[in-house]
Amino acid sequence: MGQGLDVHAFSADGGRPLVLGGVAIPGGPGLEGYSDADVVLHAVVDALLGAAALGDLGTVFGTDDPAHAGAASAVFVTEALRLALAGGWAVGNLDCTLVAQRPRLAPHREAITAAVAGLLGVPPGAVNVKATTTDRLGFTGRGEGIACLAVVLLEG
């Protein structure tokens, strides 16, 4: 089992897209970050790497590498999955929880689930994506950003 957590603040750049699970979410605002700031995929990468005892997102894909500037986080998932598979692991299932006061995420759950399942090479039934608010408490409750927690089961 591996767990991942990622947090990003909303960007002041009105042209930055909001990307969650590899899906562009209309209406933004986007999240601030070195890559595309996809909190879902960043949490998934950390969960994959953690379950396979391979470190974490920052260790494997550091922000000091210019190749990662503005990168689509799907690239990180693909590489983390490749590393896990090379270690003899296979993805059993994944559970993600998005924590956000805004935007409303329920209409996008199916698309995010399908996109993440596709990246991991598992059926959509092996991926669960849910969203919650913090009832206006903390930075997510004030609408300052989004957090995501992910748990993955690797089978070997």
pLDDT at site 124: 96
Neighbours of 22 (CB within 10 A): 21
Question: If you average pLDDT over every residue of the chain, what do you get?
Answer: 95
Q: Which domain holds residue 48?
A: 2-155
Burial of 82 (0-12, 13-18, 19+ CB in 10 A): exposed
Does position 109 have pLDDT exceeding 80, yes or no? Answer: yes
Q: What percent of the chain has pLDDT over 70?
A: 100
Kindly state the DSSP code that residue 103 receives in the 8-state scheme: S
* Predicted model pTM: 0.96
Does position 63 have pLDDT exceeding 80, yes or no? Answer: no
What crossing angle do the helices spanning 39-51 and 109-120 adopt, rounded to 10°? 40
Q: Residue 11: give its domain's CATH number.
A: 3.30.1330.50
When divided into structural domains, the chain yields a total of 1
